[in-house]
Amino acid sequence: MIKSASTDDRLGDYTADTRLIFLAAVAALIGVTSAFVALALVRLIGLFTNLAYFHRLSTSFASPAASPLSAWRALIPVGGGLIVGLMARYGSERIRGHGIPEALEAILIGRSRMDPKVAVLKPLSSALAIGTGGPYGAEGPIIVTGGAFGSLFGQALHLSAAERKTLLVAGAAGGMTAIFATPVAAVLLALELLLFEWKPRSFIPVASAAAVAGVLRVPLFGAGPLFPVVPHPALSWTPVAALGVGLAAGLVATALTALLYGCEDLFARLPFHWMWWPAIGGVFVGLGGLIAPRALGVGYDVIRDLLAGRLVGTTLIVLLVVKALIWAIGLGSGTSGGLVAPLLLMGSALGALGAGVFHAADPSLWVMLGMAALMGGTMQIPFTALVFAVELTGDLAALPALLIACVAAAGVTVLLMRRSILTEKLARRGRHLTREYGVNPLHVLRVEDVMEPPLTPPPAVLPVLTYPDELLETAMRKLLEHEVEVLPVASPDDPSRVIGYVERAAILAAWVQHTRDEAVQEEGWLPRLRKAPPPSPSSPR
């Protein structure tokens, strides 16, 4: 066995190759598809809203709150929930829920393969649920739908599971970009939530899809941010306000997560089939709409009013409470709809309440902080949330305050909740997901770090060799592929000369030791200083 080059010559910072160009090109095409799918979803929502609440044929975006119908409009969400339940029962059960956990599950255990039916039924059911008054968002469904189209592209081509995952996530990022005009936040969402890796082979194609969708959004939806505001000046009290809003948002995020899954548990106890649950949830949505009509629907117009300071006092409190209740009951019933837009609205209302309590000079800044912090804390994606808020409003000057608020909110939820609102759904399906990433010690340590002296007598046959400068990951892969416990370590200069051996147990012990070292707390110099003996008294003269 001849070693052609040293390991150092072959190892690099990244494992990407020229196939990356092909994936980026396919992802760009998926970005085009995702943008038009997002447009279709928005038009469907408008169509169903106009048919249900205004009895007219139009695809323009409309708010159910402006409907001239009488109290009978409370039955509209019930009808929508009934149809969604039927679609889930006889079409595909995968359309139930807010979508992102389903995308995560496909990535983690489904080898990034999604059912083609989901690509059609998910946007249709979500548009129907939202168009009939459901207090949900369009982003979760478009993430699933864009991901489904990306997965279909991947299944049509000769790709690995990792490459299919990249295209699935590219579709999700493209769809989110087209809905919100937030390409950078869409890529960050992929990195913080969907990809489970930081590799150029994945995030460059995802960025390609988001960039293309961002360009297409201008002719399809219009230019500019979704919720433009006047840039906020940097004020001396902003860090304190941002910290307060962030901490409050973290507590509210914890309560909302508990409320949602508490409602889900209550529905699970009902003595009849889950197909009927969305209709029952629709009863509460309809009643909530009678109390606070502006709590119905996606609520983009309400967020704009909150940023403009047009909602205050009791109206604000009622809106926040009703939105939270009907959102949790509706999603807990298993209907189809997203959670980002509702979190933005509830976070905006929370910020507006804080601004009113403390008589803030610039309430719109508090609204921005609230929307970003509640999203970042509930979903535990603080960096995505702060960039998301900047791209939604165009206010780059608020970035430092948003950083404080989002990180504070995420800190509270990380300490108070074992799992985020997204991963809790997977845990209830028996899937554990770790959101912490670190460098694998097998990618850093080499064979020479754990090898032992040569065996005596040396083995007569050397079926497979390793070298002292190879990574432990490479040695472990050879051990597993050849089903052996020990590998001879050969000299890099003379492969016929064995200079030692490495055992599988030694590699695993190195991994375990690395894990233990992370938890070892070493004594600092301050405790040592306190333990130092007092100086001896000077001798008498």
Distance, CA of 49 to CA of 300 (rounded, Å): 14
Residue 2, phi-psi category: left (phi > 0), alpha (psi -120 to 50), beta (remainder): beta
Give the per-residue pLDDT at 352.
Answer: 95
Residue 13: pLDDT above 60? Answer: yes
Range with the lowest mean pLDDT among 121-125, 329-333, 473-477? 121-125
Residue 87: pLDDT above 70? Answer: yes
Give the per-residue pLDDT at 219.
Answer: 94
CB 24 within 8 A of CB 206: no
Same domain, residue pair 280 and 302: yes
Residue at 232 is within a domain: no
Give the per-residue pLDDT at 513.
Answer: 85
Q: How confident is the model at residue 1 (pLDDT cuts 50, 70, 90)?
A: very low
Residue 112: pLDDT above 90? Answer: no
Residue 3: pLDDT above 50? Answer: no
Among candidate residues 413, 424, 425, the one with its CA nearest the CA of residue 378: 413
Q: Which sign, positive or negative, has the C-alpha torsion 518, 486, 2, 481?
A: negative
Residue 515: pLDDT above 50? Answer: yes
Residue 112, CA distances (Å) to 37, 158, 168, 295, 539 in order: 20, 14, 7, 35, 80
Residue 116: pLDDT above 90? Answer: no
Among the candidates 401, 427, 453, a domain finishes at 427
Residue at 253 is within a domain: yes
- Does residue 164 or residue 411 have the better pLDDT? 411
Same domain, residue pair 354 and 416: yes
What are the tokens at 434? 């770790």
Average pLDDT over residues 39-64: 92
302-332 pLDDT, tens digit per residue, is 999 999 999 888 999 999 999 999 999 999 9
Same domain, residue pair 49 and 27: yes
Residue 541: pLDDT above 50? Answer: no
Residue at 536 is within a domain: no
Same domain, residue pair 193 and 341: no
Predicted model pTM: 0.86
Give the per-residue pLDDT at 39.
Answer: 92
18-51 pLDDT, tens digit per residue, is 889 999 999 999 999 999 989 998 999 999 999 9
Among the candidates 221, 249, 275, a domain finishes at 221
Same domain, residue pair 416 and 446: no
CB 361 within 8 A of CB 394: no
Range with the lowest mean pLDDT among 78-82, 151-155, 318-322? 151-155
Give the per-residue pLDDT at 167.
Answer: 87
Range of the domain at 130: 19-221
Same domain, residue pair 165 and 99: yes
22 - beta bridge partners? none
Average pLDDT over residues 337-348: 92
Residue at 230 is within a domain: no
Residue 536: pLDDT above 70? Answer: no
Q: How confident is the model at residue 81 (pLDDT cuts 50, 70, 90)?
A: very high
Among candidate residues 44, 75, 36, the one with its CA nearest the CA of residue 61: 44
Give the per-residue pLDDT at 102.
Answer: 72
Same domain, residue pair 380 and 247: yes
For 81-131, the three-class secondary structure string (H helix, E strand, C coil) is HHHHHHHHHHCCHHHCECCHHHHHHHHHHCCCCCCHHHHHHHHHHHHHHHH
- Does residue 94 or residue 467 have the better pLDDT? 467
CATH of the domain at 248: 1.10.3080.10
Give the per-residue pLDDT at 2.
Answer: 40
Residue at 242 is within a domain: yes
Average pLDDT over residues 6-18: 69
Range with the lowest mean pLDDT among 186-190, 258-262, 270-274, 418-422? 418-422
CB 410 within 8 A of CB 376: yes
Omega before residue 457 within 30° of 0, cis = yes
Same domain, residue pair 388 and 462: no
Residue 437: pLDDT above 80? Answer: no
CATH of the domain at 465: 3.90.1280.20
Same domain, residue pair 397 and 322: yes
Residue 504, CA distances (Å) to 54, 212, 450, 461, 480 in order: 70, 47, 10, 19, 9
221-239 pLDDT, tens digit per residue, is 988 899 999 887 767 678 8
Name the DSSP letter for residue 280.
Answer: H
Average pLDDT over residues 464-484: 90
Give the per-residue pLDDT at 344.
Answer: 95
Same domain, residue pair 90 and 143: yes
Give the per-residue pLDDT at 458.
Answer: 58
277-290 pLDDT, tens digit per residue, is 999 999 999 999 99
- Does residue 76 or residue 147 have the better pLDDT? 76
Same domain, residue pair 263 and 315: yes
Residue at 374 is within a domain: yes
Number of domains present in the structure of the chain: 3
Give the per-residue pLDDT at 532.
Answer: 66
Same domain, residue pair 82 and 134: yes
Residue at 538 is within a domain: no
Quick one: what percent of the chain has pLDDT higher than 90?
53
Average pLDDT over residues 176-181: 91
Residue at 511 is within a domain: yes
Alpha-carbon 174 to chain mean position: 14
Residue 4: pLDDT above 50? Answer: no
Average pLDDT over residues 230-251: 88
